[in-house]
Amino acid sequence: MPRLVMKFGGTSVADLDRIRSAAEKVRREVERGYDVAVVVSARAGETDELAGRVRATSTLYDAREYDTVVAAGEQVASGLMALTLQEIGVPARSWQGWQIPIHTTGAHGAARILEIETQEMVRKFGEGLHAVVSGFQGIGPDGRISTLGRGGSDTSAVALAAALGAERCDIYTDVDGIYTADPRIERRARKLDKIAYEEMLELASLGARVLQTRAVELAMRYKVRLQVLSSFGDQPGTLVCDEEEIVEQNVVSGVAHVRDEAKITLLKVPDRPGVAAAIFGPLADHGVNVDMIVQNIGADGMTDMTFSCPTDEVARARAALEAAQGALRYRELVVDDEVAKISVVGIGMRSHSGVARTMFSALAAEGINIKVITTSEIKVSVLIDRKYMELAVQALHQTFGLADD
Ligand code: ADP
Ligand code: ASP
Ligand code: MG
């Protein structure tokens, strides 16, 4: 029998009615002759609530216990989905990450999948039993529950599709595909029929949370046919595929944003070999995910170092840098936690110059000041004041001709 992975996100399993309509979609595929592995997220809001309870209990929490708590939402959803399938005549059982097992690294809270043992699940398919798998979770080398980072159920689904040799991995969510910008910010965003793995990888890593970055990485590596579509309708979604499959290609395919960024500057650090390592070493040791980095060298043998990180890591960054003050001897530490990151992405940039200039002019025309810039072969990102975030997304979307007129 051909196999199919169907993943349902938080809003798609938010209540019993929605679980029932998701189960109907599963039944339809079962009737088409597929062995189905359903991957579920926790009910919308549940993981946030569980994570909040961990933080309220312990500020510098033990990441293994964090995983024990936050993985619970998926366990409930998988049981309810299996029961619902049984109720509508689809034989199914739930599987937790450790039961399959889905082996991961030991980086609790941000683990990576190493291997999935599918033999038992495949044997059960042979008995006519479909699978409902808790997304987001696995088992670490320490034998304890691990989780894959926020949005990680997408990665569970793609990894399972690769391990099962599934014909497709369908990601059902609360939008009907991948858009040229987050449709919640840009109402004129256009749904794409297809998008290249590489572009989706950049968009995901630059904030388009519709797919977890790691999920796209795995889909690209294992050539998983990945489709994003709506749980609530029956329209076709967006296919993530090789760029050769895409006929029409804009220079820019999409605009992404990250709302909660912070910009941290160390002013007047004595400039000497090893200064960058001395700054970013302690930040890494404190688990701070540094994103953009800019260094300005002054004529006086001093340097200013600026970097960005998520706002909820500012406290840890500050603690790391204050502890290193003796060694670094910077004059001042300045935090601006009211910034956002806006990026434009497109594989067409490889063969077209001038995207950065067009982007900067469009932002200038709206009176938006750029604080930090980074570029790669297929993207340009800027940090700006958060209050201009929506305006910037809309202006760039318009400038690059992405709007749905
Ligand atoms: P799920 O719980 O189903 O995993 P998510 O909230 O993680 O859903 O992802 C879906 C959301 O991603 C959408 O509601 C949308 O607001 C957001 N999103 C951001 N960028 C895009 C984009 N380019 N295309 C579609 N959705 C996007
Ligand atoms: N429930 C987890 C989260 O909210 C995983 C997911 O939804 O993909 O991050
Ligand atoms: Mg998600």
Asked whether residue 332 is domain-assigned, the answer is: yes
CATH number at residue 350: 3.30.2130.10
Q: What residue owns the CA closest to ligand 2's atom 6? A: 151
pTM reported for the whole predicted model: 0.94
- DSSP bridge partners of 345: 254, 379
Question: Nearest ligand, CA of residue 149?
Answer: 2
Tokens 């749980």 identify what position?
231
Length of the chain measured in residues: 405
Asked if the bond preceding 273 is cis, omega within 30° of 0, the reply is: no
Asked whether residue 24 is domain-assigned, the answer is: yes
> What does DSSP say about strands 92-95 and 130-134: parallel, antiparallel, or unpaired?
parallel
Range of the domain at 385: 255-399
Is 210 touching ligand 1 by the criterion CB < 6 Å? yes
CA angle 137, 140, 143 (to 5 degrees): 110
Asked whether residue 212 is domain-assigned, the answer is: no
CA pair distance 53, 55, nearest whole angstrom:
5
Asked whether residue 143 is domain-assigned, the answer is: yes
Ion ligand 3 contact residues with beta carbon within 5 A: 9, 151
Contact between 288 and 309 under an 8 Å Cβ cutoff? The reply is yes
Question: Nearest ligand, CA of residue 11?
Answer: 1
Q: What residue owns the CA closest to ligand 1's atom 27? A: 182
Question: Nearest ligand, CA of residue 73?
Answer: 2
- Residues 163 and 18 occupy one common structural domain: yes
Count of the separate structural domains present in the chain: 2
Asked whether residue 228 is domain-assigned, the answer is: no
- 129, 157, 174 — which closes off a domain? 174
CA pair distance 68, 45, nearest whole angstrom:
17
> Which residues approach ligand 2 with their CB closer than 6 A?
9-10, 41-42, 47, 73, 135-136, 150-154
Is 184 touching ligand 1 by the criterion CB < 6 Å? yes
Q: pLDDT truncated to tens, each residue of the chain (405 aa)?
A: 999 999 999 999 999 999 999 999 999 999 999 999 999 999 999 999 999 999 999 977 899 999 999 999 999 999 999 999 999 999 999 999 999 999 999 999 999 999 999 999 999 999 999 999 999 999 999 999 999 999 999 999 999 999 999 999 999 999 999 999 999 999 999 999 999 999 999 999 999 999 999 999 999 999 999 999 999 999 999 999 999 998 877 899 999 999 999 999 999 999 999 999 999 999 999 989 999 999 988 888 999 999 999 998 999 999 999 999 999 999 999 999 999 999 999 999 999 989 999 999 999 999 999 999 999 999 999 999 999 999 999 999 999 999 876
Asked whether residue 123 is domain-assigned, the answer is: yes
How large is the C-alpha radius of gyration of the chain?
23
